[in-house]
Chains A and B, each alone.
Chain A
Amino acid sequence: MGALFRSEEVCLVQLFLQSGSAYNCVSELGELGLVEFRDLNTQVNSFQRKFISEVRRCEEMETTFAFLEQEIGRSLWPPLIGPLPVPSPAPFAPQPRELMAIEEESERLAWELREVSRNRDSLRSQLTLLSQYRGVLIQTHPLTASQAPPPPQSLETAALMDHRQDTRLCFVAGVVHPWKVPVFERLLWRACRGYIIVDFREMEQRLEVPETGEKVHWMVFLISFWGDQIGQKVKKICDCFHTHTFAYPEHTAEREEILIGLQNRIMDITTVLSQTEGYLQQLLARCVVALPRWKVSVAKCKAVQTVLNLCSPSVTDKCLIAEAWCPARKLLLLQSALIEGTRKSGSMVDSFYNRLPSPGSPPTLFTTNSFTSAFQSLVEAYGVAAYREINPAVFTIVTFPFLFAVMFGDVGHGLLMALAALWMIRQDTPKNIRSSNELWRLFYEGRFLILLMGLFSIYTGAIYNECFSKGLSLFPSGWHLQPMNWSDETLRGNQFLTLDPSVSGVFLGPYPFGIDPMWHLANNHLSFLNSYKMKMSVITGVLHMTFGVCLSFFNYSHRGQWSSVFLVLLPELLFLQSLFGYLLVLVVLKWLLFGPAASDTAPSILVHFINMFLMADSKDNTPLFSGQGQQHPLVTDTSSINTLHGDLERGEREEDEEVIEKFDAAEVFMEQAIHTIEFCLGCISNTASYLRLWALSLAHAQLSDVLWVMVMRISLSWQGMLGSVVLAVVFSLFALLTVSILLVMEGLSAFLHALRLHWVEFQHKFYSGTGYKLNPFSFSSIIDSL
């Protein structure tokens, strides 16, 4: 609690790291995740710093690792499921010799891998090529078995055939990617003016495309033509479409011979390929084992070198000087880390630290646990607390679920919510914390918040006496029918009858806990609840705000601004209390003084309140208590005068205090005037803002009522077997709507409004939220991001 009330004391320390042991010291600090280093070389470019070569070396190794990982992803069989495992325990930041070993080994592995996979790829492409050749020979066999006769020697062809003796039939055979077939065919036709015969056949087996690695049915083509010139054109076109053309002997016998040769070579290559593949898998298995540890080691080394880059070298170059923020109560831990670092590197001279006066405001640090972290992050979403400022998160733990529950009051819904939260708490595994599903992680991190919200909703639901919009009658109602002495005719003839509490025996005292279930039957149920909830939300709001204003005392007292206590805090408190505190007094008085008998003469608080401002007096509104008329001007005057004077005086007083700084009286005066006006107007609008408690709780109650009446009650009116079927169907619909609309949607909206009430109405009264978080140098965050 103490740690959460104010942020921890953080001090600036100057670390003198001996150059021999600096690396080990920083790595020890990284393991602890203790301190935040400040950049002492802001004016030096990032690539001109002292240890940039080491950082680059680490980056080079990381590219090697990326290559290894890519190879694992590409070729490992069976493929790895999910990312590489995280090594546990994580290795320490490597010593220079270890780093060298990692570098050497990883590079050797990468080189070997590159060689082997290149070998394998070339073998594979050879195999593909040979299979294509075989496919070509097999597929074209029936085509060339009956050779076409030479074409008739007409005039046109004569022009094409320059060498008459060369008019024998020529073949070009090969394979082409199936997508390119139409364009290829058309271009051949156009360029050669039809003096060729092209045949396409699809290959039976699917073979790899070397560029992309996907498998397709290659198209085998056979082009038959006469003449040399056309031949050259055909060859050019074939080249341009990246076809694979093969030597195509004219005689069947030769082709058979080649086919047999091909079969043998394919067999050979397959054997070699399987051996290469085996070796490759061995290499990859070695990678999978070693890579995670290497990655962590090198990431740590790089992080340490980056930190060393932030340090400034001393004049003598014997040591490095670092500046860091460190929580004051962990200074001993810092000391021991430095000693440990020195011991590890076997250095003679100790590294040490000394405390510096902090130049500006130190960073904020709160130690949270899984329970408080959700509340802390709610507050920090608005703004990080300034150093040593009162932390609203402490109070938020109770007030947030409470305000939420005021809007969400329903025993049944609260119970469901609490159960859901309990289930999430039971799932407490590291897998959930690192889950990649952002939405789930969001809910999971707020599990304790949701639990509290659920529990509080059960409580407020019990007070509202609502469970899935139905009242629970745990105790006998305080209202009784008998004393009214209604005859049977009266009961039958009227739809609504009024129970008069002033008749003795009808109302025998209040219900033990919460709202009497009898009200659920009443016609004026809503107007009764509205009046009740509205007053209740104003009471809650004014108490909440008063509490906020009071909290600012701790901020002032901590900073020693006693003048502010008297000139700001007290006037503010007085203003708030004399207006809205007075309103509360009126509300409570009205509850106490006016029973059922006097209900006709009860005065309207609203009219009183407005009259107080207007300094008017209406005759038909009786005063709540005697002398109320004299009270009013007094209250208004004190409140306004006090506030104005107090705040303006503060402006004048500050003149004396802040002589050292450059001071502009007019500016401070203006600021205080604005602050005063803002506070006064803010009080009114903020009080009105708390009425959302009433509005949302009304909306929630009405929505669940509608859901019950429109959906669930229909099914309950059915009888017999059919009724049970209808009930099952309708109930599932009811359950679905309850969860999706009433729990999730309404829950989110109530959450949002509770958040707003905290941020704007509550925290504005005392919380500046202008700090920045301590971001300690820690290896665990680096490893998590790997």
Chain B
Amino acid sequence: MSACPELNFNINHGYLEGLVRGLKAGILTGSDYQNLAQCDNLEDMKQHLQTTDYGSLLATDSDEDLTVCLVDQKLKENLVAHFYCLRANSLPPLSTFLDYITYSYMIDNVVLLITGALKRRDVAELLPRCHPLGAFDQMAAVGIACTPAELYSAILVDTPLAPYFQDAVSDANLDQMEAEILRNRLYKAYLESFHRFCKEIGGPTMDIMCPILEFEADRRAFLITVNSFGTELSGTERSSLFPSCGRLHPEGLRLLARAEDPEQVKAVADFYPDYKVIFDNQEARSKLKTLEDRFFEYEVKLNRLSFLQQFHFAVFYSYMRLKEQENRNIVWIAECITQGRKAKIDNYIPIF
């Protein structure tokens, strides 16, 4: 990288940045959500979405009825198409950056397939449930492995996930719990590596991406802790799953490893002003909002901010995350509409 990467950023990545900013302008706004929330059925929703950037996405040419599942699938396809368009036109190091985005989906897919195989589900039945962004060639063959070591040496060694497995390999038989732990281990390695990569790129990409990834790491640490209460996961085991690239590292993580109930977790969060707000007055703001929702809200805020600066890669990551959030919102609204639970419909997380 030269001394001033902003100067020649546009040579290689200017087109894609422009493209992604244009796509970002199509993200639904508050008034769109208000309109959507007024709909009485999915057909109305389709009508409304036609006036947005989605256009005739939901217009099916066959006689299939519109279902929430179909909506979800179409939205996902749309996002994946956008992503592949960006990926196909990208040059290094942006292409590597975009690949990093797919790895998280890949991890989820691997874990999904492993748990599916444990439950003796057919691979053909599981494959459609995998996220298409995390697809890789050997994906369907995950089922033939019995232990993580075998999984690694036979299949995953050829995938980009291989480096993350180096810490996670063990000869223990895979079970449900083990799969979850595997997911967290992989995620830890993945986040740390992504964080390192962003630091290597430097410049505004580092300035913006690192806080986002640090937040992601801290969120995982919090959630692992909260979810591990009542399971047989011990404190030391737990601490080995915490990603060490977050802002909680090292002091907060040590405290979290020792925490034994939600109150203690909250006490840890109190040391960090940003997280204090998230854990604070849970009841006062809205009873319906879970901790996860508030994490999402904070994440949306961080991602929204990344569009304020130019000449960096974080916009790509942020676009993907915001779009995912939008998909979740639309699906949520659609679910509420079909199930007739209008009272909960406002529980989406507004983006713009």
A47 adjacent to B61 (CB under 8 Å):
no
A236 adjacent to B143 (CB under 8 Å):
yes
Q: Which residue from B47, B123, B139, B144 sits with its C-beta under 8 Å from A191? A: B144
| Complex interface: stretch among A237-245, A296-304, A458-466, A690-698 | A237-245
Residue of B nearest to A183 (CB): B137
Question: Of residues A67, A237, A240, A241, which shows the largest number of chain B Cβ atoms within 10 Å of its Cβ?
Answer: A240
**Residues of A contacting B144 with CB < 8 Å?**
191, 233, 236-237
Q: A611 vs B113: C-alpha distance in the bound complex, in angstroms?
A: 93
Size class of the B contact interface (CB-based, 8 Å): 20 to 34
B157 interface contact, C-beta 8 A: yes
A45 interface contact, C-beta 8 A: yes
Q: How far is the CB of B224 from chain A (nearest CB, A)?
A: 32
**Residues of A contacting B139 with CB < 8 Å?**
240
B81 interface contact, C-beta 8 A: no
Q: A526 vs B47: C-alpha distance in the bound complex, in angstroms?
A: 69
B153 adjacent to A240 (CB under 8 Å):
no
Q: A186 vs B153: C-alpha distance in the bound complex, in angstroms?
A: 12
A187 adjacent to B140 (CB under 8 Å):
no
Could you name 6 residue pairs across A and B whose Cβ atoms are closer than 8 Å?
Answer: A45-B38, A63-B61, A180-B137, A184-B137, A187-B155, A236-B144
B138 adjacent to A239 (CB under 8 Å):
no
Residue of B nearest to A67 (CB): B61
Q: How far is the CB of A470 from chain B (nearest CB, A)?
A: 46
Q: How far is the CB of B86 from chain A (nearest CB, A)?
A: 20
Interface string of B195-231 (1 = CB under 8 A from A): 0000000000000000000000000000000000000
Q: A190 vs B48: C-alpha distance in the bound complex, in angstroms?
A: 52
Q: A184 vs B155: C-alpha distance in the bound complex, in angstroms?
A: 11
Besides A187-B154, A190-B153, 15 more A-B contacts (Cβ < 8 Å) are A45-B38, A47-B47, A47-B48, A186-B158, A187-B141, A190-B157, A191-B154, A233-B144, A236-B141, A236-B143, A237-B141, A237-B144, A240-B137, A240-B139, A241-B140
**Residues of A contacting B48 with CB < 8 Å?**
47
Which 6 A-B pairs give the minimum distances between C-beta atoms? A240-B140, A240-B141, A67-B61, A191-B154, A183-B137, A190-B154
Interface string of B136-180 (1 = CB under 8 A from A): 011111011000000001110110000000000000000000000
Q: A241 vs B136: C-alpha distance in the bound complex, in angstroms?
A: 10
Interface string of A216-238 (1 = CB under 8 A from B): 00000000000000000100110
Interface string of B242-286 (1 = CB under 8 A from A): 000000000000000000000000000000000000000000000
Q: How far is the CB of B203 from chain A (nearest CB, A)?
A: 35
A66 adjacent to B61 (CB under 8 Å):
yes
Q: A453 vs B34: C-alpha distance in the bound complex, in angstroms?
A: 53
Q: A47 vs B157: C-alpha distance in the bound complex, in angstroms?
A: 54
B233 interface contact, C-beta 8 A: no
**Residues of B contacting A233 with CB < 8 Å?**
144
A368 interface contact, C-beta 8 A: no
A191 adjacent to B141 (CB under 8 Å):
yes
Q: How far is the CB of A287 from chain B (nearest CB, A)?
A: 15
Q: A63 vs B64: C-alpha distance in the bound complex, in angstroms?
A: 13
CB-contacts of B103-127 with A (<8 A): 123
Residue of B nearest to A241 (CB): B137
**Residues of B contacting A67 with CB < 8 Å?**
61
Interface string of B269-307 (1 = CB under 8 A from A): 000000000000000000000000000000000000000
**Residues of A contacting B324 with CB < 8 Å?**
none
Q: A233 vs B61: C-alpha distance in the bound complex, in angstroms?
A: 40
A46 interface contact, C-beta 8 A: yes
Interface string of A185-205 (1 = CB under 8 A from B): 011001100000000000000
A239 adjacent to B140 (CB under 8 Å):
yes
Q: A592 vs B200: C-alpha distance in the bound complex, in angstroms?
A: 79
A191 adjacent to B140 (CB under 8 Å):
no
B91 interface contact, C-beta 8 A: no
Q: A186 vs B155: C-alpha distance in the bound complex, in angstroms?
A: 9
> A residues touching B (Cβ–Cβ < 8 Å)?
45-47, 63-64, 66-67, 180, 183-184, 186-187, 190-191, 233, 236-237, 239-241
Residue of B nearest to A46 (CB): B47
Q: A183 vs B140: C-alpha distance in the bound complex, in angstroms?
A: 13
**Contact of A183 with B158 at beta-carbon distance under 8 Å, contacts A190-B153, A240-B123 already known:** yes
B61 adjacent to A187 (CB under 8 Å):
no
Q: How far is the CB of A212 from chain B (nearest CB, A)?
A: 14
Q: A66 vs B123: C-alpha distance in the bound complex, in angstroms?
A: 36
- Interface SS of B by simple majority: helix
**Contact of A47 with B44 at beta-carbon distance under 8 Å, contacts A191-B144, A233-B144, A236-B144 already known:** yes
Q: A233 vs B142: C-alpha distance in the bound complex, in angstroms?
A: 11
Residue of B nearest to A184 (CB): B137
**Residues of A contacting B155 with CB < 8 Å?**
187, 190-191
**Residues of B contacting A183 with CB < 8 Å?**
137-138, 158
B59 interface contact, C-beta 8 A: yes
Q: A187 vs B44: C-alpha distance in the bound complex, in angstroms?
A: 49
B38 adjacent to A187 (CB under 8 Å):
no
A187 adjacent to B158 (CB under 8 Å):
yes
Question: Of residues B56, B138, B157, which shows the largest number of chain A Cβ atoms within 10 Å of its Cβ?
Answer: B138
**Residues of B contacting A184 with CB < 8 Å?**
137
**Residues of B contacting A237 with CB < 8 Å?**
141, 144
**Residues of B contacting A190 with CB < 8 Å?**
153-155, 157-158
Q: A107 vs B321: C-alpha distance in the bound complex, in angstroms?
A: 41
CB-contacts of B46-60 with A (<8 A): 47-48, 56, 59
B138 adjacent to A240 (CB under 8 Å):
yes
Q: A299 vs B272: C-alpha distance in the bound complex, in angstroms?
A: 60
Q: A66 vs B56: C-alpha distance in the bound complex, in angstroms?
A: 11
Q: A31 vs B256: C-alpha distance in the bound complex, in angstroms?
A: 74
**Residues of A contacting B158 with CB < 8 Å?**
183, 186-187, 190
Residue of A nearest to B157 (CB): A190
Q: A240 vs B155: C-alpha distance in the bound complex, in angstroms?
A: 12
Q: A67 vs B63: C-alpha distance in the bound complex, in angstroms?
A: 13
Q: How far is the CB of A744 from chain B (nearest CB, A)?
A: 28
Q: How far is the CB of B61 from chain A (nearest CB, A)?
A: 5
**Residues of B contacting A239 with CB < 8 Å?**
123, 140
Residue of A nearest to B51 (CB): A46
**Residues of B contacting A186 with CB < 8 Å?**
158
**Residues of A contacting B141 with CB < 8 Å?**
187, 191, 236-237, 240
Residue of A nearest to B62 (CB): A114
**Residues of B contacting A180 with CB < 8 Å?**
137
Residue of B nearest to A179 (CB): B137
Q: A236 vs B123: C-alpha distance in the bound complex, in angstroms?
A: 10
Q: A183 vs B137: C-alpha distance in the bound complex, in angstroms?
A: 8
Q: A186 vs B141: C-alpha distance in the bound complex, in angstroms?
A: 13
**Residues of B contacting A64 with CB < 8 Å?**
61
Q: A321 vs B98: C-alpha distance in the bound complex, in angstroms?
A: 57
Q: A45 vs B157: C-alpha distance in the bound complex, in angstroms?
A: 57
Residue of B nearest to A193 (CB): B154
**Residues of A contacting B137 with CB < 8 Å?**
180, 183-184, 240-241
Q: How far is the CB of A719 from chain B (nearest CB, A)?
A: 50
Residue of B nearest to A192 (CB): B154
Q: How far is the CB of B245 from chain A (nearest CB, A)?
A: 31
CB-contacts of B14-41 with A (<8 A): 38-39
Q: A133 vs B56: C-alpha distance in the bound complex, in angstroms?
A: 41
Q: A66 vs B39: C-alpha distance in the bound complex, in angstroms?
A: 26
Question: Of residues A47, A64, A236, which shows the largest number of chain B Cβ atoms within 10 Å of its Cβ?
Answer: A47
**Residues of B contacting A45 with CB < 8 Å?**
38
Q: How far is the CB of A435 from chain B (nearest CB, A)?
A: 26
**Residues of A contacting B44 with CB < 8 Å?**
47
Question: Of residues B123, B137, B158, which shows the largest number of chain A Cβ atoms within 10 Å of its Cβ?
Answer: B137
Q: A190 vs B151: C-alpha distance in the bound complex, in angstroms?
A: 11
Q: A635 vs B39: C-alpha distance in the bound complex, in angstroms?
A: 72
Q: Which residue from B38, B39, B59, B143 sits with its C-beta under 8 Å from A63? A: B59
Residue of A nearest to B40 (CB): A47
**Residues of A contacting B140 with CB < 8 Å?**
236, 239-241
**Residues of B contacting A191 with CB < 8 Å?**
141, 144, 154-155
Q: A236 vs B117: C-alpha distance in the bound complex, in angstroms?
A: 13
Q: How far is the CB of A182 from chain B (nearest CB, A)?
A: 9
Q: A486 vs B302: C-alpha distance in the bound complex, in angstroms?
A: 88
Residue of B nearest to A186 (CB): B158
